[in-house]
A and B are shown apart, each in its own frame.
Chain A
Amino acid sequence: MARFAPLLPEIILAIGGLVLMMAAAFTGRRGTAAINWLAVALLAVATLALIGPPSHAGPIFDGLVSADLFASFGKAVMFPAAAVAIIAAHGWFERGTEHASEYAVLILFAAVGMSVMVSATSLISLYVGLELNSLAGYVLASYRRRDERSAEAGLKYFVLGALASGILLYGISLLYGFTGTTSFAGVAAAFGRGAPTLGLLFGLVFLLAGLAFKISAVPFHMWTPDVYEGAPTPVTTFFATAPKVAGVLLAVRVCVEALGPATDAWRQIVIFAALASIFLGAVAAYGQTNIKRLLAYSSINNVGFALIGLSAGTPQGVSSVLFYMTIYVVMTAGAFLCVLWMRDADGEPIETIASLSGLSQTRPGFAAAFAIFMFSLAGVPPLFGFWPKLLVFNAAVSAGYVALAVAGIIGAVIGAYYYLKIVKVMYMDEPAPAYARVRAPVQGALVFLAAIGVSPVGYLLIAPLSALTDRAAGSLF
């Protein structure tokens, strides 16, 4: 039994998810609230199960997955983020005709997939984890199946996701064909033997392209705005947080563990994707009138900054990526929880930026929280969103990439414009009709906590959090 101890979080989530799925099937809509809370409880238990030595026991199942601090750190960020996405759905799906209760179950399965993704040390387990997460994601995107936009989002996500999986698999098969192994260590050893052959390089490029799809890095970002806009808002909250972390962490592990000796080969790809994501994410957001589309571009932009940390290719760089993604999840989840509150008198969601007009006068607390998230996403000090940006630039400069840091930071200034625009709409324009008040104390508490966390109070977290990210990053090298 001891050899299953490192897998305890995944076992809890998988078995719990299966049980809840049966419960959902038999209780129907009546059991929604209970199932949601049970799913949140399962995620909490799974997070607690990360504590202790088994979570960093080393490679298991002949090196298919690895239980290390890097994976545990990722899970400790993703499980709570998934729980937030479940809490965000309270009172959302009950109004439609859909089955409300399977939502939480799908999130649980996606969480298992993500957790395999961040622990994967073999190309096979990488793909299995990715697909488990993605399949749950396709269903979630089209969860309101009678809503045309949701169905379209699901279809689009599925088609493009399948294409990405194909590209990824092609890359994997090339790597397997030229190295004869699927384990990360074996691939690294093959790359370590002198200059990589053309076949290996092609494998590397296809593998990274497939991963870039999953983290919506430019030029593989096209699905993101449409899917984010079309999917129900709680689902978008989920897409923008936990799977993003899983994807970025997976990319980090692949680059460092499997492609480590070929750093010079992947670094130029990562640098291009980083800068392209930052600038496209910043520029394309200008004309958006839909808040969810805008936040989609914001997530593309943020992935670019995380990739700057990765391109340093040092433990410091990986640590900065982990820090960045943690704070990114808090800011983004907070911002989406605010978007969930944008509803008209009938409880129907409103998504236009114009409807935020004058919010500071009708709902000052809501506006202040949203403004904090916007300034923080823009990376303006003294808000805490500044610190992870500083860390990734610091990693880039320490690795000798000063020009990259300068280009990235100019992108940050361009991006600041649209975050400012939201603040301007809320604080400087005349009030629009007020939103209906939503009674959601738990969501309110989460927004409050997130806003406090990214306010200057967050600086108190630097010491413990960077100690954790440093140790987690260290376990990869």
Chain B
Amino acid sequence: MTNLPWLTILIAVPLIAAAVALFLSASGARWLALIATIIDFDIGIYLWSNYNPDGAQWQFVERLPIGGGISWALGIDGIALVLIMLTLFLMPICIGASWRAIQKRVPEYMAVFLLMEALMLGVFAAQDLFLFYVFFEGGLIPMYLIIGIWGGVERIKASYKFFLYTFLGSVLMLIAMIYMVAVSGTTSIPALMAYNFPPDVQRWLWVAFFASFAVKLPMWPLHTWLPDAHVQAPTAGSVILAGILLKLGGYGFIRFSLPMFPQGSVDFIPFVFVLSGVAVVYTSLVALVQRDMKKLIAYSSVAHMAFVTFGLFAMNRQGIEGAMIVMLSHGLVSGALFLVVGVIYDRLHTREIAVYGGLSNNMPGYALLFMVFTMAAVGLPGTSGFVGEFLSLMGTYHASTWAAIAGTTGIILGACYMLLLYWRICFGTARTPEAATMVDLSAREWWLLAPIALAVLWMGIYPESFIRPIRNDVGRILTRVESVAPAGDSHLTLPGAKLRAFDAQDHGAHH
């Protein structure tokens, strides 16, 4: 069983289903997409259960040269594994969320979604630099079509903006990749992760990669494509965008920027911290004044992604592990929040916050789940959001006190806008008669939201399940960056250090 090329199968299942779906009827395509994504999720469970966290760095490795210097090289470490699991988990939910909301051109829709899944899985599994790029950029085409065909009124502008913004970001990365291959003579990502480029070259390469990942993540001030894309995309498109596509940026930082260009990363720490600090405060304030629910959540995504960059560039264990958990948690929570918005959008066809109110009266089940996700977004202990943000901020504090101050301000502001949103939608009395007569969640909607709520609580109560697979890989990244990482400004020297020194002396005397 373990000799099968599982990662290829993982990518092939949605691809084949996508091709077949084009020739089916609407309901046939829906069922096929659902079954294919669930089969893929099962394969993912198999991978997770067979992944040995203490084993080799790269597992389930496959390698097949294609020619021209690139190979079909796949393999995963713990970081890729958890992100693949996130993708596989969200995909059936996306298909379910589109079950009734999408009525036009259903077979094409399902085909494009399955194509998207295959490409995203490929990004996380690719071990060849150019193969990674092909998957990374390939995701633009299906997302362009999803926004442009099934999106809202302003969908055309949003789809162009999405495509050209991210395309421009990525092509500079391509030149950097070509340069790296020309210098190092290999396209293998694991080999490049151990290759030492000269420090001044690292800086240029870091900038080129940053251009791509910072657009994807997105980081302030390159985030402006995101609110447009989110608002115009259909619900499931927003879930994919927030849940998985944004993670490509963070994944890129952790896979490329940190281990391949440690010196470059260190040199740009102040730059990243300033951008993240501005992002977390500025976009939180912007989120506070939004009238459109999706836009509010979109801006909150930018703010949450700043915790990822804070954590990663803190360059210590807590920071990087925290950044990973923030990515997973945000994937679940923001995805769920877009679904929550989708539920009431399907009923009233408006995302204006002012239309709703008092939903806890007529939709108690909805209010309950919305509460769970709001709390997770705020970072309440017991939910996934707390674990990620706490670890990431702790790591940041070790690196820079000022950055941590900016970050914690963001948490307070995050609580403001999320609680305000929840209050205005669920509490009080209904502002319009239509809102008062909405019916509670259907069985299908329960099936979509309840699993995410459980996963959010699981990650909040027992995060070890998710930290365990990545622990060794974070350690490997740390060994790459530790030699050059700065000391940080928050090592307590008085009076604790003196006490400890005294303590040690004391113990030493006894032996």
Contacts and interface: CB of A to CB of B under 8 A. Distances in A.
A412 B160 contact: no
A428 B171 contact: no
A390 B160 CA distance: 23
Contacts of B68: 387, 391, 462-463, 466
A382 interface: yes
Given A460-B66, A463-B66, A390 B164 contact: no
B390 to A, nearest CB: 39
Contact of A382 (B108, B134, B181): B134
Nearest to B169: A413
A464 interface: yes
A390 B171 contact: no
Given A413-B168, A459-B66, A393 B178 contact: yes
A412 B171 contact: yes
A273 B387 CA distance: 56
Main secondary structure of the interface of A (DSSP, over half): helix
A445 B137 CA distance: 29
Given A405-B175, A409-B171, A420 B138 contact: no
Contacts of A380: 137-138, 140-141, 167
B171 A410 contact: yes
Contacts of B135: 381-382
B418 to A, nearest CB: 34
A424 interface: yes
A288 interface: no
A417 B164 contact: yes
A370 interface: no
A361 interface: yes
Nearest to A412: B171
Contacts of B171: 409-410, 412-413
B179 interface: yes
Contacts of B82: none
A34 interface: no
A398 B184 CA distance: 12
B134 A381 contact: yes
B441 interface: no
A462 B66 contact: yes
Chain B interface residue bracket vs A: 35 or more
B134 A409 contact: no
Interface in A305-361: 360-361
> Which of A381, A390, A397 counts the most B-chain CB atoms under 10 A from its CB?
A381
Nearest to A461: B67
B133 A381 contact: yes
Given A361-B105, A380-B140, A463-B66, A427 B145 contact: yes
B160 A417 contact: yes
B179 A402 contact: yes
Given A380-B141, A416-B164, A428-B159, A406 B172 contact: yes
B144 A420 contact: yes
A386 interface: yes
A373 interface: no
A101 B264 CA distance: 66
A419 to B, nearest CB: 10
A391 B178 CA distance: 9
A375 interface: yes
A394 interface: yes
B174 A390 contact: yes
A390 B130 contact: yes
Contacts of A416: 163-164, 167
A393 B182 CA distance: 11
Contacts of A387: 68
B119 interface: yes
Interface of A: 360-361, 364, 375, 380-382, 386-387, 390-391, 393-394, 397-398, 402, 405-406, 409-410, 412-413, 416-417, 420, 423-424, 427-428, 456, 459-460, 462-464, 466-467
